[in-house]
Amino acid sequence: MKFLIFMTFILGATWSMADDRISDREIKTTLIQQSIQDYGKSCPCPYSKSPSGGQCGLNSAYSKTGRLALLCYPSNVTNKMVKDYRDKNGL
């Protein structure tokens, strides 16, 4: 019985720690938000709203800069960027 209680505690702690870990998807979302915020102007990404209220589309900075300057989509965030974010933030 003591073993069962001990194992329940250990497994519960392990699952709890796994739930506390920030996923790569959450980190990518954070990096995209930071990239857009750092841009600081209107129309950073194709899906952004233009000052007139429509989508920016091909008028976005992302579309005009060869997609290198801004992170707009999860596919723009490399595994190295995720790893660097984890290292920098102790995750």
Can you read off the two tokens belonging to residue 10? 């250990």
CB atoms within 10 A of CB 43: 20
Q: Report which of residues 11 and 51 the model is more confident about.
A: 51
Token representation of residue 49: 């709203």
Predicted pLDDT at 86? 97
Q: Is the pLDDT of residue 19 over 50?
A: yes
Residue 35, number of CB atoms within 10 A of its CB: 19
Query: One-letter amino acid identity for 69?
Result: A
Cβ 73 vs Cβ 46: under 8 Å: no
Can you give the pTM of this predicted structure?
0.72
* Residues paired with 55 in a beta bridge: 49
- Banded model confidence at residue 9, pLDDT cuts 50, 70, 90: very low
What average pLDDT does the chain have? 83
Confidence of residue 43 (pLDDT cuts 50, 70, 90): very high
